[in-house]
Amino acid sequence: MWIDTHCHLDAPEFDPDRDAVVARAAAAGVGLLVLPAVRAGDADALAGLAQRHGAAYALGIHPLCVRDADDADLDRLDAALARHRDDPRLVAVGEIGLDHFVPGHPRERQEAFYAAQLALARRHGLPVLLHVRRSADTLLKHLRRTPVGGIAHAFNGSLQQARAFVELGLRLGFGGTLSFDRALQIRRLAAALPDHALVLETDAPDIPPRWRYQTAAERAAGADPHDARNEPAELPRIGAELAALRGSSPAAIAALTTANACAALPRLAGLRPGLASAAAAGGRVGTADPGPAPTGP
């Protein structure tokens, strides 16, 4: 079984055929999706979507949504985490973090919201799903002050930064980008990092793998943009790319990354038969100290 640890199933790109998207993922062997929020107001709708499709979810405020959020949104998020605290499908605080690539998003405000949401994760006893875009060192600074576990989503930093996240107890998310030959740094990381560091994701509908990617020329020629949309059903093929980079088999990578996902997001283990044993296996993957566990409320 595969776990897609980061999929925006609530995105409007999926409005025409969301049920079919989930069905295709299940047929491909993707047994569980993790759906991150991007705004404080997403909570109840996302919880309902996860319930309908047998998925897991996270609640948080995305760094690219911070500019348009008001300070009271942190209180709304805190209240939503408390309201849904007994829902076993709530597995993390996310998507939170920092984006130092997209212009026009104040870094100071992003950092304040990130620090506050790390504190909420500690308070509610949950791991985090981190957005990391040219911001790894600042993210790490705050994680050292407020240690929590979780996943650094779509990781694209240096090997030194990768090791720092892993030493703090986080796993690193890899997706469609590693399928591109020119993505040299990400491919090197995917091949070199220890077994216990890796989880898989699609970030669907974003970050399509190379076989769904459209060039500007193809788009100008009238290519159907729907064909470029990423889907969770692509995860096994992405996993096969990871297996090839690591000299492993897709089956072994599926087992490994499922175990790691359960170790990173412990509530996943209760959502599917057999995942409890995968979570136990995850605790035995690799030799590094998994780092500090999230504290309870």
**Tokens 């107001």 correspond to what residue?**
41
**Alpha carbon distance 178, 253 (integer Å):** 14
- Among candidate residues 194, 296, 175, the one with its CA nearest the CA of residue 239: 175
Q: What pLDDT does residue 272 have?
A: 86
**Tokens 């062997």 correspond to what residue?**
29
Q: Are 270 and 88 in contact (CB under 8 A)?
A: yes
Residue 293 maps to a domain: no
Q: How confident is the model at residue 258 (pLDDT cuts 50, 70, 90)?
A: very high
The domain tally of the chain equals: 1
Residue 114 maps to a domain: yes
Residue 47 maps to a domain: yes
Between 293 and 222, whose confidence is greater?
A: 222
**Alpha carbon distance 225, 58 (integer Å):** 28
Residue 288 maps to a domain: no
Question: pTM above 0.95?
Answer: no
Domain span at residue 247?
2-222+230-282
Q: What pLDDT does residue 213 have?
A: 83
Q: What pLDDT does residue 2 have?
A: 98
Phi first, then psi, for residue 221 (nearest 5°) are: -80, 0
Residue 152 maps to a domain: yes
Q: How confident is the model at residue 291 (pLDDT cuts 50, 70, 90)?
A: very low
**Alpha carbon distance 286, 207 (integer Å):** 28
Residue 290 maps to a domain: no
Binding residues for a divalent metal cation: 6, 8, 95, 131, 153, 203
Q: What pLDDT does residue 253 have?
A: 98
Q: What pLDDT does residue 115 have?
A: 98
Sequence-separated (6 or more) residues with CB below 8 Å from residue 49:
9, 10, 35, 55, 57
Residue 270 maps to a domain: yes
**Alpha carbon distance 109, 115 (integer Å):** 10
**Mean per-residue pLDDT of the chain:** 92
Per residue in 198-251, pLDDT tens? 999 999 999 999 998 866 665 556 556 676 799 999 999 999 999 999 999 999
Per residue in 128-160, pLDDT tens? 999 999 999 999 999 999 999 999 999 999 999
**Alpha carbon distance 50, 257 (integer Å):** 21
Does pLDDT of 117 surpass 90?
yes
The average pLDDT across 63-84 equals: 98
Does pLDDT of 45 surpass 90?
yes
Q: How confident is the model at residue 4 (pLDDT cuts 50, 70, 90)?
A: very high
Q: What pLDDT does residue 103 have?
A: 96
Residue 292 maps to a domain: no
DSSP state of 180: S
Q: What pLDDT does residue 276 have?
A: 81
Per residue in 269-281, pLDDT tens? 999 888 887 777 6
Q: What pLDDT does residue 227 have?
A: 65
Does pLDDT of 268 surpass 90?
yes
Q: What pLDDT does residue 225 have?
A: 66
Per residue in 161-206, pLDDT tens? 999 999 999 999 999 999 999 999 999 999 999 999 999 999 999 9
CATH number of the domain that residue 93 is part of: 3.20.20.140
Binding residues: 6, 8, 95, 131, 153, 203
Does pLDDT of 78 surpass 90?
yes
DSSP state of 99: E
